[in-house]
Amino acid sequence: MAQFDPVEERAVEMLDDLELEAVRAETVPHNDERFEFVLWVLCLRGVAVIERVCQSRGKARGLDEQEIELAIEDAAARMLLRLSRLDPQPQIHALAGQIAAESVDRAWPSQPRAAKLSRRPPELRLVKGLDRAIEKGRVRPNDWENS
Amino acid sequence: MSAGEETFERVFWQVLNDLQEGEAKPIESYLRLVPREDREELSLMLADVLLARGPASAPGAAAGAGYERAVSIVDEVLGSRGETGLLPGALKAMRKARGIEPEGVVERLAADFGVEGEEGRRALARNYHRLETGRLLGSKLSRRLLASLAAVFDVDPVEVRDAARPASQGPSLQSVPAMGRGAGAGSSTAARPSPERLPDPEVELVERLFHGGPDA
């Protein structure tokens, strides 16, 4: 990351969420190193919220530790995308919370899913003479009580 | 209230907020934000606050593994900003978190654009790999490609488009379409079609999507 005047860096870090969003909106069209620093500071604030929301909501929805970590990573990446938008965005705490909730609510790989019917066609085999064998009593149909 | 007093008060409350959020920075960094003549008073006030709070917890104790991973994702994505903005890093991070293989993305793109042939799919895979590794120009990506990527990753197309804007201090790259259209002398000869072979229309479509500009 590019280096800036430490006073300017500190000044950016000291801004409250609303002021920081204003600076983001001002610097995002330039997409330069100053914007990158603003984005970094915003993300640090957002990441703390993402972690908290993903942990609590993820546990409530039955996600395991690994899935929660993946949801956190997903939300972190989505937050960066969202903060790249040119239009104004909500305060970072609210935005991060919303994104984290959406990430947790995705279908994660090991979440239980509704049973699906198999697409595979049933494999049926015709046995020649089976009907006669049943008639003669040499073969009996399956009986769930005896078999 | 004078401007100096206002700054003093704001910095003081900022310290309290940061302490509460567990994000306190070194005290010197706060002192630097107030005029020199106010620093002694602020330091005394902060000393009182810190004394009342008791000893700090061990460094890093508050940050969980999830927090550390999220910060490293942010760091990675920001570090990869270039001619395609931060889109490559963000796509890669989302793809990995969601357990999607690159082939899965390519399949979806192929279905969206009706690319069925082997050559066309290979061109898609090649260009998607270039996109994810930050080797394409964001300004040359077509809008319909970006919209399709947004659908694959279930995000707003505006976000994908805005994230693909080139960073202004990024490394200078040249767009190198694999079909050789408009490529300079430095372009890869291996990617150029032989004169007797007509270009595959699907490959041409893919090249337009990735190199033809927003309206392609």
Domain end residue (candidates: B11, B36, B53) = B53
Residues B163 and B85 in one domain: yes
Task: Judge if pTM exceeds 0.80.
Answer: no
Encoded amino acid at A141, one letter: P
Q: Which residue, B128, B141, B127, B137, is CA-closest to B102?
A: B128
Q: How many Cα neighbours within 13 Å face the side chain of B210?
A: 27
Q: Which residues of B touch A14 (CB under 8 A)?
A: 10-11, 14, 30, 33
How many other C-beta atoms can be found within 10 angstroms of the C-beta atom of residue B190?
A: 6
Residues B15 and B97 in one domain: no
| B74 in any annotated domain | no
Q: Which residues of B touch A68 (CB under 8 A)?
A: 66
The neighbouring-strand residues paired with B66 are none
Encoded amino acid at B161, one letter: R
| B205 in any annotated domain | yes
> Scanning every residue of chain B, which has its alpha carbon at the shortest distance from the alpha carbon of A42?
B74
Please tell me if residue B213 touches chain A, with a CB cutoff of 8 Å: no
A107 Cα to chain B: minimum distance (Å): 9
B34 Cα to chain A: minimum distance (Å): 11
Residues B203 and B102 in one domain: yes
Q: What is the number of domains present in chain B?
A: 2
Residues B126 and B215 in one domain: yes
Whether residue A33 and residue B166 make contact (CB cut-off 8 A), yes or no, is no
> Scanning every residue of chain B, which has its alpha carbon at the shortest distance from the alpha carbon of A37?
B78
Residues B135 and B208 in one domain: yes
B5 Cα to chain A: minimum distance (Å): 16
Given B21, B73, B159, which is nearest A85 (Cβ)? B159
* B104 in Cβ contact with B111 (< 8 Å): no
Q: What does the pLDDT profile of chain B (216 residues) look like in tens digits?
A: 677 788 888 888 888 888 877 777 888 888 888 888 888 888 888 887 777 665 555 444 446 788 999 999 999 999 989 999 999 999 999 999 999 999 999 999 999 999 999 999 999 999 999 999 999 999 999 999 999 999 999 999 999 999 999 988 544 444 445 444 444 444 444 444 455 556 789 999 999 999 998 998
B141 Cα to chain A: minimum distance (Å): 17
Interface of B with A in 57-86 (CB under 8 A): 64-67, 69-71, 73-74, 77-79, 81, 85-86
Q: Which residues of B touch A73 (CB under 8 A)?
A: 69-70, 73, 93, 96-97
Please tell me if residue B19 touches chain A, with a CB cutoff of 8 Å: no
| B185 in any annotated domain | no
A23 Cα to chain B: minimum distance (Å): 17
Q: How far apart are CA B63 and CA B68, in angstroms?
A: 7
Q: Which residue, B98, B65, B29, is CA-closest to A106?
A: B98
* B33 in Cβ contact with A39 (< 8 Å): no
Mark the ranges of chain A whose per-residue pLDDT is less than 70. 1-7, 109-127, 141-147
Q: Which residues of B touch A74 (CB under 8 A)?
A: 93-94, 97-98
> Scanning every residue of chain A, which has its alpha carbon at the shortest distance from the alpha carbon of B95?
A74
What ipTM does the predicted assembly reach? 0.70
Q: How far apart are CA B89 and CA B150, in angstroms?
A: 14
Given B21, B69, B93, which is nearest A69 (Cβ)? B69
Between A and B, how many residue pairs show a Cβ–Cβ distance under 8 A?
129
**In this prediction, what percent of chain A has a pLDDT beyond 70?**
76
Going by C-beta distance under 8 Å and a sequence separation of 6 or more, which residues neighbour residue B69? A69, A72, A73, A76
| B123 in any annotated domain | yes
Given B14, B69, B162, which is nearest A14 (Cβ)? B14
Residues B42 and B128 in one domain: no
| B97 in any annotated domain | yes
Residues B209 and B123 in one domain: yes
Full domain range(s) for residue B30: 3-53
Q: What is the pLDDT of residues A50-85, one digit of tens each?
A: 999 999 999 999 999 999 999 999 999 999 999 999
